[in-house]
């Protein structure tokens, strides 16, 4: 039976039945919401039907569905897909995401050898009819949810159809665990639906086990096993030529409230390094023009306008998508954004893999384990504010030995997680049918 005809996962749970009813009632209004998001660039107007579960094109043979909400989750899935593809040559992959940016970067960074085996769709909205249409069309042999995407209709609908479910790279904050704990029966239904649960840390695993994922174990973070960010050679050569021998401070993936502090640090540091170039790469590139207005007192250039930094450029706003690999390669030191403000920080290992010395603000809760390890090993420096940022950047930009020791220590930490994708792939394979019985889907 279909998940619509026999919603066993919902039976006996009033909150889940209420969610199912509410999402069904809201369905007629969702096209208006999607159209509004499309006008703001947050949806692909040509592919809105995928959000209704339409557009299935199931390939022959075994099919693994992987879902990651946004950029970080979908990018961390790439080494996992590579490991599974090498182990199971007949396996095909469906990757769903919830954001336009994630879809674009997946297409750009997917290895060419895998392009014919991986299809992308936008995830269906968590409406029973949309979910049923999606599952009926694709009939995945197993499904992997990445990090913390818990959608009741999607999870219980797949489980009702017999699709084996895995939750990998799972993380659960104290606040989220407390929230789920207020509805323990609901949590047990949802987290207990996963046959395989692999958490990032033991703390995450403990929280998940308390909520019903009894087999949860901690293996580490897939983001730590990602491949180095790419950069086009011709683009890199052009940027290096424009910069010349100037010292470069990069502020990568910045958030509102950080850029003014970075500009202040530039002003302090430029007194000691007059030819300093500071590059600011906002986490959301569409903020570039607003940043240009906010920092109008500096000689500034915008990458989105096609400009390269000239000899007089003080601050270069790299408001383009998917170019951090380029920027880390030209920087002499990098502040990892989201850490000067209470956001929790972005992934410092992206810089570590490209040999760029790392500076971290006080807020690194999103990457506590790896940040603490880097700081303890001398692979990164902690900075509290703009003055400390200027001082630390000067230390790294003028101290060749210090920069070298930092990058060496960071590279060792980044290499430690290299075997995780293969280990995780082997666990996921246990959910798939044997090669002799693959291809029909569990529907």
- What end-to-end distance do the CA atoms of the chain give, in Å? 8
Question: Can you tell me the distance from the alpha carbon of 153 to that of 66, in angstroms, rounded to the nearest whole number?
Answer: 16
Handedness of CA 6, 11, 13, 15 (dihedral sign): positive
Contacts of 81 (CB under 8 A, 6+ apart): 66, 93, 95, 114, 118
Degrees to nearest 5, angle at CA 346 with 358 and 391: 35
Catalytic residue from among 73, 82, 147, 350? 73
Contact predicate 169/198, CB 8 Å? yes
- Cα–Cα distances (Å) from 242 to 7, 316, 322, in that order, read 61, 12, 20
- Cα–Cα distances (Å) from 352 to 74, 229, 258, 323, 328, in that order, read 20, 11, 21, 16, 9
- Strands 333-336 and 315-317 come out as unpaired
* 218 Rama sector, left if φ>0, alpha if ψ -120 to 50, beta otherwise: beta
Nearest residue to 377 (alpha-carbon basis) of 401, 406, 334: 406
Question: Can you tell me the distance from the alpha carbon of 337 to that of 344, in angstroms, rounded to the nearest whole number?
Answer: 9
State yes or no: is 259 an active-site residue: no
Active-site residue set: 73
């Amino acid at each position: 039976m279909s998940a619509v005809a026999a919603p066993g996962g919902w039976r006996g749970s009033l909150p889940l039945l209420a969610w199912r009813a509410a999402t069904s009632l809201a369905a007629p209004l969702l096209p208006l919401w999607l159209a509004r998001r499309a006008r703001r660039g947050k949806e692909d107007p040509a592919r809105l039907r995928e959000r209704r579960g339409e557009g299935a094109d199931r390939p022959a043979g075994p099919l693994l569905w992987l879902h990651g909400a946004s950029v970080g989750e979908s990018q961390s899935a790439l080494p996992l897909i590579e490991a599974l593809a090498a182990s199971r040559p007949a396996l095909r992959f469906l990757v769903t995401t919830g954001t336009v940016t994630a879809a674009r970067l997946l297409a750009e960074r997917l290895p060419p050898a895998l392009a014919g085996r991986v299809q992308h769709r936008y995830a269906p909205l968590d409406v029973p009819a949309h979910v049923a249409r999606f599952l009926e069309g694709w009939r995945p042999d197993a499904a992997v949810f990445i990090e913390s995407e818990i959608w009741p209709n999607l999870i219980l609908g797949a489980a009702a159809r017999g699709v084996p479910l895995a939750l990998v790279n799972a993380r659960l904050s104290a606040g989220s665990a407390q929230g789920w704990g207020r509805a323990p029966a609901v949590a047990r239904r949802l987290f207990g639906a996963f046959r395989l649960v692999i958490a990032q840390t033991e703390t995450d695993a403990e929280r998940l086990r308390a909520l019903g994922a009894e087999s949860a174990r901690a293996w580490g973070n897939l983001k730590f096993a990602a491949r180095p960010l790419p950069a086009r050679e011709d683009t890199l050569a052009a940027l290096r030529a424009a910069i010349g021998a100037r010292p470069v401070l990069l502020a990568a993936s910045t958030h509102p409230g950080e850029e003014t502090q970075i500009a202040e640090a530039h002003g302090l540091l430029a007194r000691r390094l007059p030819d300093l170039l500071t590059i600011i790469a906002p986490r959301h590139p569409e903020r570039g023009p607003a940043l240009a207005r906010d920092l109008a007192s500096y000689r500034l250039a915008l990458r989105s306008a096609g400009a390269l930094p000239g000899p007089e450029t003080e601050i270069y706003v790299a408001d383009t998508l998917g170019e951090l690999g380029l920027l880390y390669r030209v920087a002499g030191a990098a502040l990892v954004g989201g850490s000067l403000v209470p956001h929790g920080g972005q992934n410092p290992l992206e810089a570590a893999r490209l040999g760029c010395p790392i500076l971290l603000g006080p807020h690194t809760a999103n990457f506590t384990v790896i940040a603490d390890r880097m700081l303890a090993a001398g692979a990164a420096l902690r900075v509290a504010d703009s003055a400390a940022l200027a001082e630390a950047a000067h230390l790294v930009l003028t101290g060749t030995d210090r920069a070298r020791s930092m990058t060496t220590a960071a590279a060792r930490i980044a290499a430690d997680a290299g075997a995780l994708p293969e280990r995780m792939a082997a666990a996921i394979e246990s959910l798939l049918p044997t090669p002799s019985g693959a291809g029909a889907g569990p529907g």
